[in-house]
Structure 1
Amino acid sequence: MSADARTDSPGLAVAKGIVRFGGHTLWEHLAPQRATSARDVPVRTKDVTREWLTAVLCHAHPGAAVESYDMEDVSSGTSSRWRATVTYNGAGREAGLPTELFAKTSRSWAQRLLLGMADVLTGEPGFYTHIRPHLDIEAPHGYHGAVDPGSGRSIALMEDIVATKGVTFCTPQTPISFDEMKNLLTSMATWHGRYWNDPELGRHDFLRKTPQTFVGNLAKFAGLKKRGDVGVQRAMAVMPDGIMAIHEDLYRALWRSLELAAQGPLTFLHGDSHIANVYKTRDGLLGFGDWQVVMRGTWAFDVSYTIATGLTVADRRSWERELLAFYLDRLAETGAAAPDFEAAWLSYRQQMFWSYFGWLLSIGRSAIQPKFQPDSISLGILERASNAILDLDTLGAVDSVS
């Protein structure tokens, strides 16, 4: 890890990004252009046209066309989100084309700056185009993805799972049972096993980053050390005694942990597999949404993040060894060379840091940082993550490796 990442020096790149993305968003506001071809990248509902929807949804079905659509802005955070209901002509209806759509775009300059500096603008478009079609898991289906690197505009057009599956998204306050966590780990083992040491990982630009480069990018853009120091003060009431005394040591060890996350057999990672990105369908199935931070790295980065944030402190303490053994069995069933339990247990312990520092960054946010999640979610996760770090002696687990 470079000195810049460790010291959180924002550097000239951030200033250039502010000018570049700010200039583009201002120009788009002053001279808006509507999208009409698949090459266009609309980021606002008013940019969308029937011609664009036909181009991106009907291209594989000659004669099919969008006849009408209704759109609704939903929310804005790290991305801007809207949903659409689409109707087709006879050929489109006969082809069974999707009618309930959800889009995530980079509309504001702050979103483009964050996503661009973190190198995740292409993540979700890349996932839905290149990875999702090869995975038999509970996750939204994707229909179109595009990025304009120069302006920072991006869009991922996908299934509106609220409409199609009646989903509700989880929070730290959502009870997750032992069997539900096993279901999540089964899905995780499916994508880890499918791309275990797969050369395809190196062929996609959107998968070139590892946890080490991703967090390094965030550190340089958002000032991870400073924001973490602010966040730990704001979250002190929910964290156990003893965490403050080792906070500086934890930050040092975070970087060694991230180096380890880029070593050994690498696989495809969700990269942001915390509980607030988990949903339940009306039929009781659990899946992962928000595939924006996909990357490659060690399996333990995903697994530790999900278990640490998804379970209460008491349930994690009671279940984590059995859950890890279950995950390793499912991973082996895919044909991957799963590590033995003791080696896996050490890796699991070593990868607990991001569930702590990522959420200190969220609650310790600065003025130029979009609000990632409500404070109630950040605090709920920080309570769990800080306890996990102490329970598992994550600091000692990292320091034990030369």
Structure 2
Amino acid sequence: MTTPPRTGNARLEVLKGIARVGGHVAREGLTRQPAGIPVSSKEVTREWLTAVLCGGHPGAAVESFTTKDVSSGTSSRWGITVGYNETGRRAGLPPNLFAKTTAGFKQRLTLDLAGILEGEPNFFRHLRPHLDIEAARGYHGAVDLRSGRSISLMEDIVATKGATFCSPRTPISRDQIEDLLANMATWHGRYWNARELAGHAWLKVPSAHFGNLNRLIGMEQRAKVGARRARSVLPEALLPLQDTLYRALEQALRTASEGLLTLLHGDSHIGNTYLAADGRMGFTDWQIVMRGSWAYDFAYTVASGLTVADRRAWEHDLLAFYLERLAAAGGEAPSADDAWLAYRRQAIYPYFIWLATIGRSVIQPKYQPDEISLGIIERTANAVLDLDPLSALSERG
């Protein structure tokens, strides 16, 4: 069944969100008064840093800090270098920090109406402390659901780990993709069918997340625009299947939202990974954390992270490797046949979400440069052709 278009009620909700968030942004611009949640580097103070970084260490205090704006896209990003007093230094408090905030109107509106504003702050607060994975440590997170102001204050992995971030232009070796999948298997195994996940209302399942996106931007139309903009990298054989594939997307997401659920990164494409100086691979950007089928994350990373030729050559072995690591981490690994079927079914979403990314509307921030979008669309489009998710969704399993 085709995903229904946005209804009048959905459009009204979007308009209400625009009025609410826009009103806060306008008032902030007029009053210029300090807020409880700093969203720009200019709003940070020593007192605020002391409160959020030194609370567990009596006598510790921030004596100095400098900030550096880094970039702006889905979020605003800036670095902070902190100097502590002697007590803070002895406690080993972190000197190199990285902030992600929602400073701009489009950033707040998009994350708020997509239902993911709380994702990363809550990941670092509630889930990251229990995971032995290659990822940044979190030090503070806060969200104001009325205004859309939010901040995630985390480890600056460029400073602490010598991290370099990946893209579709980054050559990924067999060892490196296996390291990413081993990392993934660790968090999947730790939270496999875990009751505690259901207690976090902000952890949506993939079908609910898609519903939020569709309400916000009209996914089908954005994907059609994206297909026109990405025409140069789409295989000819895929073009006649576009409408049929989109109608199957809803079914694929339902399967990713049922059965034994685990913690999902939710946006595990290659652009959200990094290579540390010691050779380890890790994941960044936990804004869209969800709970759902392991295959959702696995398919997204493999399809976006590898060249078409490498994916074709390695995907069977990579799936076997992942299942072995999942079992070792505490997950109930499915059979090889069931896992292959689940992987094939989840090939659709990575393709369509990147069509929607390059097919963005005027109310969306530019999430990614077009060359990154085109690189991932080319890979995920070929994965759809090779894995035939339409047939997989009609098979029993």
Structure 2 length-normalised TM: 0.98
> What one-letter code is carried by the residue in structure 2 that aligns with 1:143?
Y
Alignment of 1:160-309 (within 5 A): 160-207=156-203, 209-309=204-304
Q: How does 1:375-390 map to 2 (within 5 A)?
A: 375-390=370-385
The aligned residue for residue 4 of structure 2 is 6
Structure 1 stretches of at least 4 aligned residues deviating more than 3 Å after TM superposition: none
In structure 1, what is the Cα distance between the partners aligned to 2:171 and 2:51? 42
State the number of aligned residues.
395
Shift of 1:26: 1.0
Distance 2:130 2:343 in 1: 27
Matched, 1:143 2:100: no
Identity of aligned residues (%): 59
Q: Does 2:310 align with 1:312? A: no
1:364 corresponds to 2:359: yes
2:50 is aligned with 1:57: no
Q: Deviations over 1:315-334 (max 9, x none)?
A: 00000000001000111112
Please state whether the residue corresponding to 1:6 is helix, strand or coil. coil
Cα distance change of structure 1 residues 329 and 305 upon mapping to structure 2, 3 Å threshold: same
Partner of 2:20: 20
Compare 6-15 and 62-71 and name the one that shifted more. 6-15
Q: Is 1:74–2:53 an aligned residue pair?
A: no
Deviation of the 1:34 alpha carbon: 2.3
User: Does 1:329 find its partner at 2:344?
Assistant: no
Deviations along 1:265-323, one digit per CA (max 9) or x if unpaired, are: 00000000000001011222110000000010000000000000000000000000000
Is residue 2:119 matched to residue 1:123?
Answer: yes
SS in 1 for 2:55: coil
Deviation at 1:382, TM superposition (A): 0.4
Contact 1:100 / 1:163 at 8 angstroms: preserved in 2? Answer: yes
Is the 1:67–1:87 Cα contact (8 Å) retained in structure 2? yes
Take 1:233 and 1:399, find their aligned partners in 2: how far apart are those partners? Answer: 28
Residue 92 (str. 1) matches residue 106 (str. 2): no
Superposed CA offset, 1:161-209 (max 9, x none): 11111111101010111111111110100000000000000111221x1
Task: Determine helix, strand or coil for the equivalent of 1:332.
Answer: helix
In 1, the alpha carbon distance for the partners of 2:54 and 2:4 equals 47
Distance 2:365 2:155 in 1: 25
Contact 1:121/1:152 (8 A) holds in 2: yes
- Contact kept? 1:34, 1:49, Cα under 8 Å: no
The DSSP-based 3-state class of the residue aligned with 1:86 is: strand
1:106 equivalent to 2:108? Answer no
- What amino acid maps onto 2:364 in structure 1? Q
Query: Partners in 1 of 2:208 and 2:320 — Cα distance?
Result: 29
The alpha carbon displacement at 1:335 in A equals 2.4
**Deviation of residue 74 (structure 1)?**
1.2
Shift of 1:157: 0.2
Native 8 Å contact 1:212 1:262 kept in 2: yes
Contact map agreement 1:33 1:47 (CA 8 A) in 2: no
- 280-289 vs 268-277, which deviates more? 280-289
- 2: CA distance, partners of 1:339 / 1:177: 26
Aligned CA-pair RMSD: 1.2
SS in structure 2 at match of 1:84: strand
The answer to whether the 8 Å contact 1:21/1:113 transfers is yes
Instruction: Tell me, in whole angstroms, the C-alpha distance in 2 between the residues paired with 1:348 and 1:300.
Output: 5
- 3-state SS of paired residue (1:33): coil
Distance 2:166 2:111 in 1: 23
The residue type paired with residue 245 of structure 2 is L
Q: In 1, distance between residues paired with 2:333 and 2:396?
A: 20
Aligned partners of 1:71 and 1:84 also within 8 Å:
yes
SS in 2 for 1:7: coil
Q: TM-score, normalised by structure 1?
A: 0.96
Letter of the 2:328 partner, please give it: E
